[in-house]
Structure 1
Amino acid sequence: MGVPAFFRWLSRKYPSIIVHSVEEKGKECNGVRIPVDTTKPNPNEVEFDNLYLDMNGIIHPCTHPEDKPAPKNEDEMMVAIFEYIDRLFNIVRPRRVLYMAIDGVAPRAKMNQQRSRRFRASKEGVELAEEKHRIREEIIQRGGYLPPDEIKERFDSNCITPGTEFMDNLAQCLRYYVADRLSNDPGWKSVTVFLSDASVPGEGEHKIMDFIRRQRAQPNHDPNTHHCLCGADADLIMLGLATHEPNFTIIREEFKPNKPRPCALCGQLGHEIKDCQGTAREKQGQHDEFADTMPVSEQEFIFIRLSVLREYLARELTMASLPFPFDFERSIDDWVFMCFFVGNDFLPHLPSLEIREGAIDRLVNIYKDVVHKTGGYLTQNGYVNLERVEMIMQAVGVAEDNIFKKRKEDDVRFLSRANSSSAGPSDRTDSRGMKRKADDSDSEPEPEDNVRLWEEGWKQRYYKTKFDVDVTDEDFRQRVVKSYVEGLCWVLRYYYQGCASWKWYFPFHYAPFASDFKDIKGMFTDFEKGTKPFKPLEQLMSVFPAASGNFLPQTWRNLMTGPDSSIIDFYPDDFAIDLNGKKYAWQGVALLPFVDERRLRAALADVYPDLTPEEVKRNSLGSDVLFLGKSHPLFDFIQELYRTESHEGTEIPPELCHGIQGTLNLDDDPILPDKESVWPDNHFHVIIKCLFLFIFRIPSKVLKPGDWEKGNREPWRPQLGFNPNRQQAHLDQSSFRALSYQHICYILHNQALIDLVGHSSPVPHANSS
């Protein structure tokens, strides 16, 4: 989600949701590293059933890391990705499902953000190269020294987009990787592996959510399934809550905001490129600029326990004396919805709502105040009650003027304190917020703010500056509000049901004010039915700058640069960035033209015939692929299917596949004869289309009375592992009875532990008491 500060705010307000992962390391024996035995119980003292990987969060740091030397070539990148997945598998140890989802073609609402990011990345890359050249010349002219600038091809991270050769190669490499692990790693032998590569439409995390929703909809779904989702985006927390699964955990790298980064010119720590003075001459002859300057340390992982967050929210959202029955799950949905107002990937945040200023707390307080007037909840099953939402927005609107004034007062107070040479004891009361801002402060002047929201006339200046219209133009303001209302309905539907429209997007760079939300009840009815996603190469044409045109076919690329191109205006060489009250360019708004779908398709119609067969293949849409090891219960069933003449559309027997249901469409060539050395013959990969996927146990409560106030105290450090009292576990009869059903199944299949506890009775059925 587009809320950089959301995770920081959440972890400080609800600190007990986070624990450090316990990670076993492989041992060295005669110079050979022995891999970790992932068949053993999880050292974090919790057994996970399903592990979902939002792969783009893995691909980016493995291909162009910020804290260590970059891989030298594509092969090293693939190896880094494999090692990252291995490490996650070691920590989580899923027992049923591993689902790897790579971003496919995205909805138009998301493509606008992708377009902004990719144009920015290209612009910043050019500017960085120019700055490095200029500063290098200055250092050399004043007698300083820098190692010779190695001429090497810069890795263009824009290639991590559906439709490129890189993504096609990645999909093939992951297939071989999964095949190898199913054949050689005992921890994988009974796991059902799904790969949803970039040919499958949809964002990775939303493909995962669609998989989970389909599981929940089936009669065979086990409500005690423990899910673990890997990813760093804040919206994964919202998506996890939206599933209403009681056992949902997110794993991500530990966030370290003050982690030092090396100078982009000399590679040394402790300064930025603008302050670079060069390196010592004795380093002459060293060609790896990061070799001795950049400490390489393995990043630690943390767990975010959504079951504990639900405990916090249950206390915060529970309301008494309501004119309607209180439903905690409905209040969770409303909380997720209200978080959309402070920012997401599809809509700009409202000007008066900033996460750092307590916007979510403000919304929750308003929500609890007006709920008696609304007569019910704001949302239901992914649909929005706009009449009730208007009450919330109007309450925010009443406070907007004071919010803007207080924001200015806080900024003035901060600058006054920052400029003061001595800080007394009283100044330390706000040390946490002061430290964050002090880290950002430097000698650069503050950007000019022509809107001045803290002064009278702010609404007139805002609309004139941002939209070039007069505030009295009620029709235009209503159009902006209508589009934003549509966006709120689209985003909620996207989170709870899937993509309601592939073509809808918010057609403005800025949001309206909360006070503009008037008479919105009839502003939205429904989305256009039957819309389809772009094809991969069409998305590349929509999100790439001309500088990344080398990933496209030649005649398509010419449409980005040719003077006679009918869509040349979609690819400006330069564009303005409106800081919009922020200090740094990356925080600003990229004022790029929106792509007109009809004009784009008309232009592409002339170049479609130029595609080669390989390009046609990369431009097609695919399906999820299922991998099974030979010891998997479903293996023999599928092997028999291959012996029958008609096997299309066969339903998966849920009893053979951890309760998963769906339709199998078998690959015509499950074994690749020309790849026998790397592709074992003891598994099949199956194309899956239209996947559909005991007694319910409420998770044990974790929070104690003192935990409610813990978020207000500093310093704070997450505990290690899920068990706060980490002692050596002794497996006796009492602890055996306390284990989960999945853990009992594991123990009963491990003869050594069976002998240890002396227990050999049959496994109790999941539905038994």
Structure 2
Amino acid sequence: MGIAYFFSHIYKKYNSDNDLLIDEKQLSTFDVECLFLDYNSMIHPCSHQLLATLDETKEYSVDELDDLIINHVLDYTRYVINIINARNVYIMVDGVAPRAKIQQQRSRRYKSKMFKKDDNKIKWDSNKITPGTCFMKKLKDKLYLFIAKLKDEGHDFNIHIDFDYGEGEHKMMNIINKLNNLDECKKICIYGLDADLIMLSLMSVYSSQIILVRDNSSNENTNKKMFTYLNVKSLEESIINEIRGRYEGALLINNRNIIYDYILLCMLLGNDFLEHIPSLIIKDGGLNMVIKVYIKSLDKNKGESSLVKLDELDRGNIKDSINMDMLYTILYNIGNSEDYFYKSIYSVYKTNNSIYKDVKLDEYPNIYFYKDDCIKYNQMNYKNRYYTFYGIGDIKDACKKYIEGLYWILGYYNGHMHNNWLWYYKYMNVPFASDISEYLRNRTDVKRYIMDSQNLEKSKRITSMQQLWMVLPKESLMEVLEDDILMKLKRLLKMKDVMNKYFPEDICVDIINKEYLWQSKVFLEDFDINILEMIL
């Protein structure tokens, strides 16, 4: 998922003179050496498409629906492979994710289950699209049979399938960055277009040869299939030209450093692992703001240093990879604009946007919606109300864990260099920029904490069964578990205090000043992995 609205923002900003959409014929003209399919970004829309076409007067068994969806996914896979005609095809399926991503998946899957209306006549639980479920095992088996069939048909390409540990986009980047002597005229085509893929592509050694495409499912012209398209080289050049054009001193910094700095700046706008800084909203100029304060910080140090210390990163030293002095300056300047943001821009945003304009909240009986603005950002003492509402009792600790998170994400984007799978940000929201910068005043203590952090070192992995228990609501879990594991769940059901804590039947959802339901925040207890290790 990544940063909300990131793609639409950068397209409007950098690519307004270019075509966003290309058709099948145009797509087939690229000389593609490698095609990478971010497969989960295909499975989900294919399941929606298939379910929308079914006859609601008929009854379907669970197995029938599974088979229909899998067959549709495979048909669409054939379609994409035939159009792009690459020499090497890589099908990358999400495996077990790091705990930080699992936290986000837990929220998303609860929303998927709880926000689904009961009036749907054909019921299929999309939470099955999670590593370790019977559905994914069935898909894996059929995918290998499908590949064997393609080879029997005489298709002249190499094809690789990956269901192993890790997110699909990160696994594909590990392969891309290890490619040897790729002809500079050849393209690497990635099917998928979320913000994480864009960031990872910008960081790749082959960034100038990567193109990203995705089926434009919103296209109304059904007679002509269109694809959304992004040339990473063009985006990279646009970012570099903007930074250099706004500050001449940036000439002292190399292009790679500008891109890495840009990616770290974008982390302040939120991603799958950390929420956005409260006063940075991309639709309200958040990206422009961080670039502005970045330029200001470059001017302060005469362009002699960058935000990301690439020499340390290249040596594998993730714990000294961020220029903390520069990070302090950036956050300090963002913090100085907080009151203005909440008194002016935020007030307009609050007036114009309301999630409950077009959503009937009473249709969800097991959900309590926080909709009244109890924080009142545009009034005095909004910080105290914010921290109270989100249960952040130790602001300094939240600041410390947020900074640690920036290091973890930078290492994760950079080939998962720390190989840590257990870190996650434990608070419901992140501190204000002004509070983080205040905490950074004593940078000696912060640096000491980062140097001693076990969360930036190799850890054990989470198992697929542990991930299932952590991300799925009880109803979804009971549908996907095999009989022997179901017995363990039934034993857990008798532990009512544990069940009520980790598998709530009623949930609280924060929709304060949210524009859409998908932006809502679910209040859920963090799963204690030690309990899972005892049960499983």
SS, match of residue 202 in structure 2: helix
Q: 1:345 offset after TM fit, Å?
A: 0.5
Q: Tell me the number of residue pairs that the alignment of Structure 1 and Structure 2 aligns.
A: 492
User: What letter corresponds to residue 35 of structure 2 in structure 1?
Assistant: L
Q: 1:221 offset after TM fit, Å?
A: 5.0
Tell me the residue number matched to 1:698: none
Cα pair 1:447 1:583 within 8 Å, conserved: no
SS, match of residue 71 in structure 2: helix
**Residue 460, structure 1, aligned to residue 384, structure 2:** yes
Tell me the residue number matched to 1:596: 528
Give the 3 Å change call, closer, same or farther, for CA 559–111 of structure 1 in structure 2. Answer: farther
Q: 1:408 offset after TM fit, Å?
A: 3.6
User: What letter corresponds to residue 550 of structure 1 in structure 2?
Assistant: E
Q: 1:17 offset after TM fit, Å?
A: 5.6
* Alignment equivalent of 1:81, drawn from 70, 73, 93: 73
Give the 3 Å change call, closer, same or farther, for CA 468–78 of structure 1 in structure 2. Answer: closer
**Residue 301, structure 1, aligned to residue 215, structure 2:** no
* Alignment equivalent of 2:331, drawn from 393, 408, 422: 393
Tell me the residue number matched to 2:175: 211
* CA displacement 1:508-549 (0-9 Å, x = unmatched): 110100011232542422444331221111111111111112
Give the 3 Å change call, closer, same or farther, for CA 298–576 of structure 1 in structure 2. Answer: farther
SS, match of residue 377 in structure 1: coil
Q: 1:559 offset after TM fit, Å?
A: 4.8
User: What letter corresponds to residue 85 of structure 2 in structure 1?
Assistant: R
Give the whole-Å Cα distance in 2 for the aligned partners of 1:449 and 1:440.
Answer: 13
What 5-or-longer segments of structure 2 have no aligned partner?
56-63, 362-369
* CA displacement 1:621-650 (0-9 Å, x = unmatched): xxxxxxxxxxxxxxxxxxxxxxxxxxxxxx
* CA displacement 1:117-161 (0-9 Å, x = unmatched): 111222123xx11xx3xxxxxxxxxxxxxxxx96x5x21111111
Q: 1:2 offset after TM fit, Å?
A: 3.8
Tell me the residue number matched to 2:307: 378
* Alignment equivalent of 2:276, drawn from 342, 349, 358: 349
SS, match of residue 193 in structure 2: coil
Give the whole-Å Cα distance in 2 for the aligned partners of 1:583 and 1:396.
Answer: 24
Tell me the residue number matched to 1:753: none
Counting only pairs closer than 5 Å after superposition, residues 398-409 of structure 1 correspond to structure 2 as 398-409=336-347
Percent identity among equivalent residues? 28
Give the whole-Å Cα distance in 2 for the aligned partners of 1:92 and 1:487.
Answer: 38
Counting only pairs closer than 5 Å after superposition, residues 605-684 of structure 1 correspond to structure 2 as none
Tell me the residue number matched to 1:240: 201
User: What letter corresponds to residue 486 of structure 1 in structure 2?
Assistant: E
SS, match of residue 577 in structure 1: strand
User: What letter corresponds to residue 388 of structure 2 in structure 1?
Assistant: K
Higher Cα Rg, which structure: 1
Cα pair 1:244 1:329 within 8 Å, conserved: no
SS, match of residue 318 in structure 1: helix
Cα pair 1:22 1:91 within 8 Å, conserved: no
Q: 1:43 offset after TM fit, Å?
A: 6.2
* Alignment equivalent of 1:313, drawn from 233, 239, 253: 239
Tell me the residue number matched to 1:46: 30
Tell me the residue number matched to 1:632: none
Tell me the residue number matched to 1:512: 431
Q: CA RMSD in A?
A: 2.8
Give the whole-Å Cα distance in 2 for the aligned partners of 1:515 and 1:537.
Answer: 40
Tell me the residue number matched to 1:58: 42
Give the 3 Å change call, closer, same or farther, for CA 51–560 of structure 1 in structure 2. Answer: farther
Tell me the residue number matched to 2:5: 5
SS, match of residue 533 in structure 1: coil
Tell me the residue number matched to 2:21: 20
Q: 1:402 offset after TM fit, Å?
A: 0.5
Give the whole-Å Cα distance in 1 for the aligned partners of 2:497 and 2:377.
Answer: 41
Tell me the residue number matched to 1:193: 159
What 5-or-longer segments of structure 1 have no aligned partner?
25-41, 133-148, 260-294, 416-436, 470-475, 605-769
SS, match of residue 252 in structure 1: strand
* Alignment equivalent of 2:93, drawn from 97, 102, 124: 102
Tell me the residue number matched to 2:261: 334
Cα pair 1:252 1:303 within 8 Å, conserved: yes
User: What letter corresponds to residue 595 of structure 1 in structure 2?
Assistant: F
Give the whole-Å Cα distance in 2 for the aligned partners of 1:368 and 1:17.
Answer: 27
**Residue 229, structure 1, aligned to residue 178, structure 2:** no
Q: 1:589 offset after TM fit, Å?
A: 1.0
* Alignment equivalent of 1:541, drawn from 441, 462, 469: 469
User: What letter corresponds to residue 391 of structure 1 in structure 2?
Assistant: T
Tell me the residue number matched to 1:253: 215
* CA displacement 1:470-522 (0-9 Å, x = unmatched): xxxxxx11100111111111111111121631000000110100011232542
Tell me the residue number matched to 1:359: 286
Tell me the residue number matched to 1:169: 138
User: What letter corresponds to residue 83 of structure 1 in structure 2?
Assistant: D
SS, match of residue 467 in structure 1: coil
Give the whole-Å Cα distance in 1 for the aligned partners of 2:165 and 2:148.
Answer: 24
Q: 1:178 offset after TM fit, Å?
A: 1.1
Q: 1:44 offset after TM fit, Å?
A: 4.9
Q: 1:393 offset after TM fit, Å?
A: 0.6
Give the whole-Å Cα distance in 2 for the aligned partners of 1:386 and 1:502.
Answer: 24
User: What letter corresponds to residue 112 of structure 1 in structure 2?
Assistant: Q
